[in-house]
Homo-oligomer: A and B are copies of this chain.
C-alpha cells in the first residue's frame, strides 16, 4: 500500500486524533493512508477493498466509524454525487490538493475536479457568505458547488 516509511499521513493525524480524545489504531491509520494516497473520491467500500489485502482483520464497520470521526474532526469531506453511496476525500492539508469544485456527469457518473475559476468563485463566495451570515445569522463553515451535465465521452455517444 506504499506506506510512507516513517512520516506518512499517520504522523500528521496522530496529534489530531489524540487531541480529540481518540486512540490511534491500525485500522484508522490504514484509512488515512489510503485517503492520502488516493487522488479520487473513494467510497467506504473502495477504502475497504484497498485495505483488506493488507489488513484482512479490519472490517467495513470500522471503516465507516473512522470515516465518521474524520468528517467530524474536519480532516475529510463527505460528498454525495447521487450514486447511492457517499464518497470521501481528504480536506486540503499539507499534502492535500488545492481546494476544488466538481463536475458530475449524469451519464456515466464520472466526477471531474476542477480548480479553474476557483479564485473568482471563492472570492464571490466569500462575499456571499458574509451577506448571508449577516442576514440569516447563519455561521457558514463550508460550501458545495457542483455542476451537472454530460462529460466528453457521454457527449459523443
Contact = CB atoms under 8 A, between A and B. Distances in A.
A22 interface: no
A141 B149 contact: yes
B114 A120 contact: no
Contact of A149 (B82, B124, B140): B140
A145 B145 contact: yes
A75 interface: no
B132 A141 contact: no
B132 A114 contact: yes
* Number of identical protomers: 2
**In which size bucket is the chain A interface?**
35 or more
Nearest to A155: B139
B127 A117 contact: yes
Interface string A129-157: 10110011111111111111111100100
A116 B141 contact: no
A112 interface: yes
A22 to B, nearest CB: 20
9 contacts: A103-B138, A112-B136, A112-B138, A117-B127, A120-B127, A124-B124, A137-B155, A144-B144, A144-B147
Given A116-B131, A140-B148, A143-B145, 8 more contacts: A103-B136, A112-B136, A114-B132, A114-B136, A121-B128, A141-B149, A144-B144, A144-B146
